Structure 1
Amino acid sequence: MTGQPVKRSFAGASLDYLGARYVGAGPEACSYTTQAIEIPMTDGVKLAADYYAPELPDNQKSAGLIMIQCCYGRGSGISFINARIFAARGYQALFVSTRGTYGSEGTFDPGSNEQSDSQDIVAWMRQQPWYPGSFATLGASYLGYSQWALLHDPPADCVAAVIPVGPHDQAWHAWGTGSFRLDRASWSDLMSKCDEEKGSFLSRLANIPGLSFLRSSELEEAVAGLPLEASLQKYFGDKAPWLFEYLKHPNVDDDYWTPRRHHIALQRANIPILLISGWYDTFTTQTMHQFKHLRGRGVNVNLVVGPWTHVQGSGLYSMPEILDFLSEHVAKTEDARSNREVGVPHARQARIFITGSQEWRSMPTWPPDTRPKTLYLQENNGIGPGPPVLDTSPASFVFDPLNPTPSIGGNQMSSGGRVDDSAYAKRSDVLAFTSEPLSEDLEILGIPSVRLIHTSDPPFADLFIRLSEVDTHGVSHNITEIYQVLDPSRDTSKPLNLDLQDCAHRFRVGTRMRLIVAGGSFPMYARSLGTDEDRLRSDKTTPQKHTITIAGGVSQLVLPTTSAV
């Protein structure tokens, strides 16, 4: 069933105008109409969609067609950033609700149907009288995942893609560290209520106090309960069945994850792609992997990374780049707005925000050429350029699963970001190795790494490592981090090598570096219980004593510094 085209209302035009000013989109080119549509899938399911058509003179063609797949509804807030803003600038837009959400038939099973459904949508588009012969894709987060699912088998008429903060591999996010990522529970809570609650996804999200990691005190209690799986089952009941499938499949190579992993898209995609991320996004590692892989294949890929969280990186602060990219690769016009403050992406270029110096910088690729600078863990929780003497005592702490080290900022889904994490240095279950004030600026661009001689008793343990900066007032702020479940059978006489997440930061004169080492980050990750039992299905816990050998400089922090430093 297809509805009649509806002209934009005065209220809609006012919202579009105010929203465009907020995101820096520049002036509109036209008004538009919206038409409700049902799109048939090959299995008989019908997906609900809205088709946006720009109102243009008879002799003027549209700037191109943009296809968006979304599981968060098609209300005014989310349709503005994904469809209406482009329709008002001459683009057609097809905004489709994911199977099982917001009017679309079928059952929502995250990641399992996007590959086939997206191909069906494309086949249906080609039969429509308004189809211009080619299209681009767009959308952030899960909408970006849907694009990677389509690019698993790239259609010949797909000419470009805009993918902000979008993962290509659901298994990597859920289980890539070896521990379950607990934001899957809060996200599942939101998605399980998409049909029973009034209002759009964005309006419901806005009602969560402070956009906190957990939706409610009840969910907070469920995540804290042991055994974890049973506690979550009591909270969810028969809702969000996919969450419990996630819990059943901790092996990322399990067949369950195969349709939810799209690494092959990185091998097959050969169209211009704009990737957008934030240093504090929950999917930063995947976006950086996407860029490096595509760049290595010679694909025309652009990268923009700002000082953003997941929500901020979804397009709110990068709309000028998105419009310029579409203008160049979809509309193929010459009116790129090159005088934008943050600049215009060009082929195979990275546009990177350097924290610390608070500046944007363009570079031909990422990471740039750097040279390693090795710092050594010192006695008395210091860190510096010279290795300590051979009789330096080891450093240790105890992680208690019943009082786990808290998650503070960082790459969390909604409550992360750059924060004051000074509290870590005051905790007895954290080691905070801090340098002396720097005598000159030190800039790092790329992936810092740590090399530790580390043991734990018992051997069933995790490590959370963070690099932070302590300012001249003694306040610490996070830069980059890593979480990893340790192999209990590893040879602890050999160094444990861990790469942190990509970062770009300039430590200013007078600031200090701080390396934070802990045994957990909760509720970001399911905590280690310290036993050989399943951390999801056991309520038995044992405190874990972590010991790091410092003597002789065997435990190190290696920084990727610029050649100018």
Structure 2
Amino acid sequence: MTPPTRDAGSGATDGVAAATWVAPSGRPPLAARMMRATWRGLPARRYEAGWEPDLEMPAADGSTLRADHYFPRAEGDFPTLLVRSPYGRGVPWSPMYGMLFAEQGFHVVLQSCRGTGGSGGAFDLWRNEAADGQATVAWLRDQPWFNGALGTIGPSYLGYAQWALALDPPPELRAMVVQVGLHDPHALFHRGGALQLENALLVGSGMTSQHRGFGPFLRATLRLKRHLNHITGALPLRGSYVRGLGGELPWLDAAMSHPDADDPFWNGASTGGAADGLHVPTCLISGWQDALVDQTFEQYGRLRRSGCDTSLLIGPWTHTSALQQGWSEVFAESLAWLRAHLCDDPSELRPARVRVHIGGQERWRDLDDWPPSPDTAPWYPAEGGRLTRQSPEASASLASFRYDPADPTPSIGGPLLSPTSGNRDNGDLEKRPDVLTFTGEPMDEPMDVLGPVAARLRISTDTGYADVFARLCDVDEKGRSVNVCDGLMRLPTGPEQPVEITVPMSSTAHRFLPGHRIRLQISGGAHPRSARNTGSGEPALDATTLTPVRITVHGASVLDLPVVRAER
């Protein structure tokens, strides 16, 4: 095919005729084309994709940022997508965002964040993305193929880069698609007062190796897996990751060492405020077992309060499976949104603002908003391991267990960044003496739970130092218990009298089928997903003493479930 030549002056944002642009003749890299050939269920390509690799553009401080440019090999004006990534520009990003969207009629600029993928400067977890994003848009304005219509797209930290740009949205920014996205680094590393240890290690491994290519990333992943038990079981925890991650990472040390969200260290880290008052149409996509799904719901609420045009898609996915098993749905949703707002083609938009996958029923459900109802139905833990709809008589204590940090309660599935995340059989976990279960009677009719779940618990300990992990499970007719959603909260340090705490357990959309039972699971931790509470009161990274604790659950505890009418 002969490379097209066109005068792009009509698309220049300042109205001044731009130089004629001759499309390069390069084809996308072989690895990208091979991976592209494996996908099924995607819309037919509209154009052949071209490739212009290794472009240079100045960062905010003059450092050089490198990017690859993918484009449709056809005449005409096409909108531009900006994808800013710290994970390199090769597989899977080159086919997923470069090739696929160029084939659908978009220029795609796939850029490596500073300090990664050949870009100059030093990588920082958050401090440079806003300024570097603005500098990149300034560079785009001078490109002869840029027609003034800009969108952003990408998952995880690529979502963070989008929110950073949206803190001061350039006038060309007309659409955003944030997939399994991050906006608050503190909440990624710390939750409920506990260090999210396994996720922190996975972030460290990915940030230091993935941008170097698949081979180095695979070796780094295997190295971390090999050393994981040593790292997470070390006393003290500080510095134990060095062997598993191949060296010291000052930014990771700093992130793990500051558990308080109000610490000045985190000033400017969260880009969540970009959604306050934002009027750039924004599509949010996540999965029920995504480690960042709560951040997605937080941003959805902010966008709705701002009156921003927004949509929400939550599938039966983890952080990684959304871009693997769920990619056909995620791609279709993203493409429809970008066509509607960058190409004035709303024909493929779904009519409902919200679409969620209903676990248990394994069907999709369209909703006007999220959550669909603010109401909750209380369920009460009772003596004998029962979970009832009727408030039981007051009881001094329902049950107790001994949590031993030398043999911490393990984490099974749930919202992690690793492949071990997701819905899992909790049978072996629930056999442990340090795990309590409260189980309801078999359901006579289907019950749909849609919205945020929480446990309001009255807890006492004999030492004053403990965490409480609460999990909602679905128990089928054969007794198989599968996790639905969960959360962890560190108890406030104090005397032995019962304290009342609320454990947010994330949100869900799940149908409990007839014959199934609702189960509330309570334990003292989920290790190594959350760093174990050593029971000594020492900081998590520096603790050297392990002290067992007895945890007692008292009466008047409540499981709040957002029950809505079950669709038939």
Q: For 2:405 and 2:162, locate their aligned partners in 1 and report how far apart those are by CA, in whole Å.
A: 39
Which residue pairs with 1:27 in the alignment? 44
In the TM superposition, residue 507 of structure 1 has moved relative to its aligned partner by: 0.4
For the pair 1:502 / 2:520, whether they are aligned, the reply is: no
In the TM superposition, residue 242 of structure 1 has moved relative to its aligned partner by: 0.8
**Pair 369,389 (structure 1): closer, same or farther in 2 beyond 3 Å:** closer
Q: For 2:464 and 2:35, locate their aligned partners in 1 and report how far apart those are by CA, in whole Å.
A: 57
Aligned with residue 256 of structure 1, among 257, 262, 265:
265
8 Å CA contact 1:176–1:252 kept in 2: the answer is no
Q: For 2:92 and 2:395, locate their aligned partners in 1 and report how far apart those are by CA, in whole Å.
A: 62
**Pair 443,4 (structure 1): closer, same or farther in 2 beyond 3 Å:** closer
8 Å CA contact 1:230–1:537 kept in 2: the answer is no
Q: For 1:482 and 1:426, locate their aligned partners in 2 and report how far apart those are by CA, in whole Å.
A: 20
Superposed counterparts of 1:85-124, under 5 Å: 85-124=100-139
In the TM superposition, residue 217 of structure 1 has moved relative to its aligned partner by: 1.8
Superposed counterparts of 1:151-190, under 5 Å: 151-182=166-197, 183-190=199-206
8 Å CA contact 1:174–1:184 kept in 2: the answer is yes
TM-score, length of structure 2 as denominator length: 0.90
Superposed counterparts of 1:379-390, under 5 Å: 379-390=383-394
SS in 2 for 1:499: strand
TM-score, length of structure 1 as denominator length: 0.91
SS in 2 for 1:139: strand
| Structure 2: stretches of 5+ with no match in the other structure | 1-21
Which residue pairs with 1:133 in the alignment? 148
Q: For 2:513 and 2:361, locate their aligned partners in 1 and report how far apart those are by CA, in whole Å.
A: 8
In the TM superposition, residue 142 of structure 1 has moved relative to its aligned partner by: 0.8
For the pair 1:80 / 2:131, whether they are aligned, the reply is: no
Cα deviation 1:88-144 (Å, max 9, x = unaligned): 111100000011111111111221211111111111111221211120000001101
Letter in 2 for 1:323: L
Q: For 1:194 and 1:18, locate their aligned partners in 2 and report how far apart those are by CA, in whole Å.
A: 23
Which residue pairs with 1:333 in the alignment? 345
Which residue pairs with 1:50 in the alignment? 68
8 Å CA contact 2:209–2:220 kept in 1: the answer is no
Cα deviation 1:226-274 (Å, max 9, x = unaligned): 1101423565575322111112322212222123211220114211111
SS in 2 for 1:332: coil
Q: For 1:543 and 1:503, locate their aligned partners in 2 and report how far apart those are by CA, in whole Å.
A: 33
For the pair 1:286 / 2:295, whether they are aligned, the reply is: yes
Aligned with residue 423 of structure 2, among 405, 413, 418:
418
Aligned with residue 333 of structure 2, among 317, 321, 337:
321
SS in 2 for 1:440: coil
Aligned with residue 18 of structure 1, among 14, 37, 40:
37
In the TM superposition, residue 514 of structure 1 has moved relative to its aligned partner by: 0.8
In the TM superposition, residue 563 of structure 1 has moved relative to its aligned partner by: 4.1
Which residue pairs with 1:478 in the alignment? 483
Q: For 1:31 and 1:467, locate their aligned partners in 2 and report how far apart those are by CA, in whole Å.
A: 48
8 Å CA contact 2:186–2:269 kept in 1: the answer is yes
Which residue pairs with 2:311 in the alignment? 302
Q: For 2:407 and 2:23, locate their aligned partners in 1 and report how far apart those are by CA, in whole Å.
A: 58
Which residue pairs with 1:5 in the alignment? 24
Q: For 2:170 and 2:518, locate their aligned partners in 1 and report how far apart those are by CA, in whole Å.
A: 48
Which residue pairs with 1:221 in the alignment? 230
Q: For 2:395 and 2:91, locate their aligned partners in 1 and report how far apart those are by CA, in whole Å.
A: 65
Count of matched residue positions in the alignment of Structure 1 and Structure 2: 541
8 Å CA contact 1:398–1:429 kept in 2: the answer is yes
Give percent identity, aligned residues only. Answer: 34
**Pair 391,516 (structure 1): closer, same or farther in 2 beyond 3 Å:** closer
In the TM superposition, residue 295 of structure 1 has moved relative to its aligned partner by: 1.1
8 Å CA contact 1:350–1:366 kept in 2: the answer is yes
Which residue pairs with 2:19 in the alignment? none
Q: For 1:359 and 1:80, locate their aligned partners in 2 and report how far apart those are by CA, in whole Å.
A: 29
Which residue pairs with 2:15 in the alignment? none
8 Å CA contact 1:446–1:502 kept in 2: the answer is yes
8 Å CA contact 1:154–1:268 kept in 2: the answer is no
Cα deviation 1:21-46 (Å, max 9, x = unaligned): 43x32111111221120111131210
| Structure 1: stretches of 5+ with no match in the other structure | 337-343
